[in-house]
Amino acid sequence: MTTPARPAPPPPPMRKGQVQAFEAISNYTAKRDCELSFEEGDLLFILDQSDPTWWKASLDNKQGYVPSSHVSSENARFAIIDAARRGNLALVEECLNAGVSVNSLDKAGNSALHAASQAGQIHIVTKLLLQPRIQIDLQNKLGDTPLHCASYRGHAEVVQLLLNHGAKFDIVNNDNYTARKLANKPAVISLLEEGTLQGHRKSSGYDDQEYGVADSEDSD
């Protein structure tokens, strides 16, 4: 494979949230201090693609330029989503630290939070929910939110965590199903029905404390 015979361009500014992960398709040995060496199969975080022949990349916490001819534009990896699904916290953190958007979507419109919620990876869900730009109610191409995914799979701990962080329980997917309609485990159903009841109380102008007072007065 031919390496572009030109000097690397001056460093462009890194654009946070627009970083993509690509798998190297061949080895490359850096010829300049501003370049990166890598091996076939390495996961490269591409920070800038403004130059067609030299891309700015990150690998093992180092930044430098790589020849784009050694990185296929057809093998982009949804690394943060794959890692979230598998429960690989180290890779999720590496992606976030490299600048990959926490709300990156795969071809089905799933985010890392969708993937972790569906797989019941509570430690990954916890990590993702700490990110300031997380969109907790993103809907994939089926209209499902992370809460739909966790509810359908019966992951009560994830459902509770999502609800605690303000996930909307009344969103309907493309089949007009809420998360409650998809739930089939008693523990999950109970959590969602409790959330629905609390939402109804607040929408009626009451809070939980007021309801408690009213209940105690009625019982006297």
Give the model's pLDDT for residue 207. Answer: 47
Longest Cα–Cα distance in the chain: 88
Q: What domains can be seen in the chain, in order of their start residue?
A: 20-77 (2.30.30.40), 85-209 (1.25.40.20)
CA distance 13 to 154: 44
Q: Which residue has the higher pLDDT, 4 or 31?
A: 31
Give the model's pLDDT for residue 220. Answer: 38
- Global confidence as pTM: 0.71
Per residue in 41-89, pLDDT (tens digit) is 888 888 888 898 999 998 887 899 999 999 876 666 788 998 999 999 9
Q: Which residue has the higher pLDDT, 111 or 220?
A: 111
Per residue in 99-152, pLDDT (tens digit) is 889 999 988 999 999 999 999 999 999 999 999 999 999 999 999 999 999 999
Per residue in 157-179, pLDDT (tens digit) is 999 999 999 999 999 999 999 99
Determine contact, residues 65/96, Cβ cutoff 8 Å. no
Q: Which residue has the higher pLDDT, 23 or 136?
A: 136
Determine contact, residues 45/98, Cβ cutoff 8 Å. yes
Q: Which residues contact 134 (CB under 8 A, 6 or more apart)?
A: 102, 103, 113, 128
